[in-house]
């Protein structure tokens, strides 16, 4: 196992035009699948859990299991407390031992987001200075879900997206270690109509204006060529959740359909592990530059 910290792992691949994959998990089948994919490709991966996912899995249990799997399987796995919306939730994540915490006040106006995030970073650094704190700038929706159509309150139009100056001011005033700016896409996947595209020139401009690594949320359903362009423009970490959830559900349905009398959970869940693992593997290869985007096209 590499003794690198998450900070080192993020800095290392981004130098070579690669990004780390951040995959959310809710339960053990998903975690097994993601860990197996990391092992197969031989790349570090960030395992993420939102507040809801942490509540279901158990924050402490998830952190300990990720550490255990990382040692047992000899592959670098990191663990991130995704989308923490309060100081209480942030402190719980610090106590549980996460490598990074996403503090999300992006639904608030800029000045309030700056104030809340600054407060969160100061609190985190006084408790666990080595834990990376990520700030979110620009609201892109709140869930890894299938949505009928684009919400009216999300920032996807150019005039709503944060400017490089705003990004620089946000990083300067809050002290975040990582920044996730809205760059045109949203959380979740749009069922009816097209997924909004990434503003790649803006990613490059924001990258040039700040010193901390950039993170892309809402990686599901985006054309793979665009993801690669986003990495080349400076994205160092890419979150994919919705597509993995979709693969999990299809796998569970397949497992249930195989035999109506089957009641062994490990037999029912086997196709879910296989489907999630296959998809995670594809993304790890794409993000780490091991496959070209056109090998898979604009797949969903």
Computed from CA positions of residues 230, 1, 242, 168, in that sequence, does the dihedral angle turn out positive or negative? negative
CB of 141 to Zn ion, least distance (A): 9
CA 56 distance to own-chain centroid:
18
By the rule CB under 5 A, 54 interacts with Zn ion: no
Piece of the chain touching Zn ion by CB under 5 A; list 61-69, 171-179, 215-223, 282-290: 215-223
The torsion region of residue 26 among left (phi > 0), alpha (psi -120 to 50) and beta comes to alpha
By the rule CB under 5 A, 245 interacts with Zn ion: no
The residue whose Cβ lies closest to Zn ion is 217
- The answer to whether residue 82 is catalytic is yes
- Which residue matches tokens 């400017």? 163
Q: Which position among 82, 99, 177, 199 bears the catalytic label? A: 82
Piece of the chain touching Zn ion by CB under 5 A; list 191-199, 211-219, 264-272, 284-292: 211-219
CB of 68 to Zn ion, least distance (A): 26
Nearest CA-CA partner of 48 in 83, 23, 85, 84 = 23
CB of 233 to Zn ion, least distance (A): 19
* Residues 111 to 140 in contact with Zn ion, rule: CB under 5 A: none
Q: With CB under 5 A, what is the number of residues at the site for Zn ion?
A: 1
Nearer of residues 75 and 185 to Zn ion, judged by Cβ = 185
What is the 8-class DSSP label of residue 192? S
CB of 215 to Zn ion, least distance (A): 9
CB of 208 to Zn ion, least distance (A): 24
The CA dihedral of 97, 102, 108, 114, to the nearest 10 degrees, is 90
Type and span of the H or E element at 79: strand 77-84
Three-state SS at 136:
strand
* Residues 12 to 51 in contact with Zn ion, rule: CB under 5 A: none
Piece of the chain touching Zn ion by CB under 5 A; list 22-30, 145-153, 217-225, 285-293: 217-225
CA 202 distance to own-chain centroid:
20
Backbone torsions φ then ψ of 236, nearest 5 degrees? -100, -20
By the rule CB under 5 A, 217 interacts with Zn ion: yes
C-alpha to C-alpha distances, 36 to 20, 72, 138, nearest whole angstrom: 16, 11, 34
Piece of the chain touching Zn ion by CB under 5 A; list 88-96, 212-220, 224-232, 258-266: 212-220
Question: Which residues here bind Zn ion, judged by CB under 5 A?
Answer: 217
Q: Which residues are catalytic?
A: 82
């Amino acid at each position: 196992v590499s003794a690198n910290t998450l900070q080192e792992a993020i800095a290392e691949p981004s130098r070579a035009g690669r990004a780390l994959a951040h995959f959310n998990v809710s339960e053990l089948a998903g975690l097994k699948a993601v860990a197996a994919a990391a092992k197969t490709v031989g790349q570090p991966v960030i395992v993420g859990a939102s507040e809801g996912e942490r509540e279901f899995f158990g924050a402490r249990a998830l952190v300990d299991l990720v550490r255990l799997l990382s040692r047992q399987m000899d592959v670098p796995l990191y663990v991130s407390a995704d989308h923490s919306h309060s100081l209480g939730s942030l402190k719980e994540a610090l106590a549980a031992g996460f490598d990074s915490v996403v503090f999300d006040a992006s639904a608030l106006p800029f000045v309030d987001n700056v104030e809340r995030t600054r407060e969160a970073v100061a609190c985190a650094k006084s408790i666990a200075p080595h834990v990376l704190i990520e700030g979110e700038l620009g609201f892109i929706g709140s869930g890894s879900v299938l949505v009928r159509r684009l919400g009216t309150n999300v920032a996807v139009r150019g005039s709503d997206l944060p400017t490089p100056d705003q990004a620089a001011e946000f990083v300067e005033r809050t002290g975040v270690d990582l920044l996730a700016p809205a760059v045109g896409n949203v959380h979740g996947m749009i069922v009816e109509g097209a997924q909004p595209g990434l503003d790649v020139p803006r990613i490059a401009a924001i990258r040039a204006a700040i010193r901390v690594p950039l993170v892309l949320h809402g990686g599901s359903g985006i054309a793979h060529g665009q993801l690669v362009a986003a990495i080349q423009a400076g994205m160092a970490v890419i979150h994919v959740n919705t597509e993995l959830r979709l693969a999990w559900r299809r796998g569970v349905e397949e497992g249930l359909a195989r035999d109506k009398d089957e009641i062994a959970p490990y037999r029912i869940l086997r196709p879910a592990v296989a489907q999630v693992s296959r998809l995670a593997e594809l993304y790890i290869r794409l993000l780490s530059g091991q496959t070209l985007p056109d090998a898979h096209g604009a797949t969903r």
